[in-house]
Amino acid sequence: MLYPELYKSLEAVRWNMGQDVPWADFDGSALSEEQARTIKMNAITEWSALPATEMFLRDNIHDSDFSAFMSVWFFEEQKHSLVLIEYLRRFRPDLAPSEAELHAVRFRFDPAPPLETLMLHFCGEIRLNHWYRCASLWHTEPVIRRIYELISRDEARHAGAYLQYMKRAIAQLGDEARAAFAKIGMLMASSSRSGKALHPTNLHVSKDLFPHDTVQSKLPDPDWLERWLDDQIRFDREWEGRVVTMILKNLSILFDRNFESVQELNRYRKELIRTPAGDRQAA
């Protein structure tokens, strides 16, 4: 089981909302109206770990190790939402999300293949780590800058934990897992082609509710994410390139192959589909 060690390692580096956030350093003159509004949207988006956890537990009913790890992941994601809400409650109480606004992102996701969901969230954590690092640089108020730094590091650690479950899946399932990871890796690293912010909260997850079936569509401002990335924090090609590089680097290690580009990953994905595992090993 991976859960006991993951619990220990995440426990060892856990930050404390009372002690590790320098609340006393707040500088109201350094927080603009538009910056404050983005914090509200991030707080509600983080709350969507709740329906995501419900989905993970349902779709991984066969996997108690991973389900146990969800307790840590869910706790930390809800804490991200809470620390952002706490910031607003202290300094911009008019913008603190209401319980109804938080509850609006809780809806039932359609069942999905667990391996693909795992990879989707692995890539999502990598992406969010970069988004928050970028947001931390855009913000000018020191307390919120520190908060984004703290939560961005948690997102990187979440990616690391998911990666361990991906390694385990490859050891257990071989090419079935590789094919699922390569397929989703392609999708999540192809942001320049899709022109869309590729993150689990921005994907369609319920056929019955389409098109209002993304977490982002449930926000008070459903168009916020693209604006945040393009006009506010300015998550440009260079930042996007770093996300893609991280995804390819991790998949290179995971598959023991070197992927310099998304095209190379795509070629490998096609190989996996075409060649049965036995033949490829013999080749």
Contacts to Fe ion by CB under 5 A: 46, 77, 80, 125, 155, 158
Which lies closer to Fe ion via its Cβ, residue 59 or residue 155? 155
Minimum CB distance to Fe ion, residue 261 (Å)? 27
Minimum CB distance to Fe ion, residue 42 (Å)? 9
Minimum CB distance to Fe ion, residue 20 (Å)? 16
179's CB contacts (< 8 A; 6+ apart) are: 269, 272, 273
> What is the DSSP secondary structure assignment for residue 18, as one 8-state letter?
T
Which lies closer to Fe ion via its Cβ, residue 158 or residue 178? 158
Question: Can you tell me the distance from the alpha carbon of 68 to that of 7, in angstroms, rounded to the nearest whole number?
Answer: 9
Quote the tokens at residue 145.
């800058």
Minimum CB distance to Fe ion, residue 131 (Å)? 10
Which lies closer to Fe ion via its Cβ, residue 158 or residue 183? 158
Minimum CB distance to Fe ion, residue 121 (Å)? 8
Q: Which of 161, 133, 144, 128 is nearest to 233 (CA)?
A: 133
Which lies closer to Fe ion via its Cβ, residue 86 or residue 155? 155
Angle between helices 237-255 and 142-173 (to 10 degrees): 30
Minimum CB distance to Fe ion, residue 5 (Å)? 18
Which lies closer to Fe ion via its Cβ, residue 161 or residue 265? 161
Which lies closer to Fe ion via its Cβ, residue 75 or residue 210? 75
Residues 219, 45 contacting (CB under 8 angstroms): yes
Which lies closer to Fe ion via its Cβ, residue 35 or residue 201? 201
Minimum CB distance to Fe ion, residue 46 (Å)? 5
Q: Which of 23, 148, 27, 36 is nearest to 88 (CA)?
A: 36
Quote the tokens at residue 163.
């990666």
> Residue 274 burial (CB < 10 Å; 0-12/13-18/19+)?
exposed
Angle between helices 175-189 and 142-173 (to 10 degrees): 150
Which lies closer to Fe ion via its Cβ, residue 146 or residue 158? 158
247-250 contacts at long range (C-beta below 8 A, 24 or more positions apart): 247/123, 247/126, 247/185, 247/188, 247/189, 248/185, 248/189, 250/122, 250/126, 250/159, 250/163
Minimum CB distance to Fe ion, residue 256 (Å)? 27
What are phi and psi for residue 259, nearest 5 degrees?
-110, 110
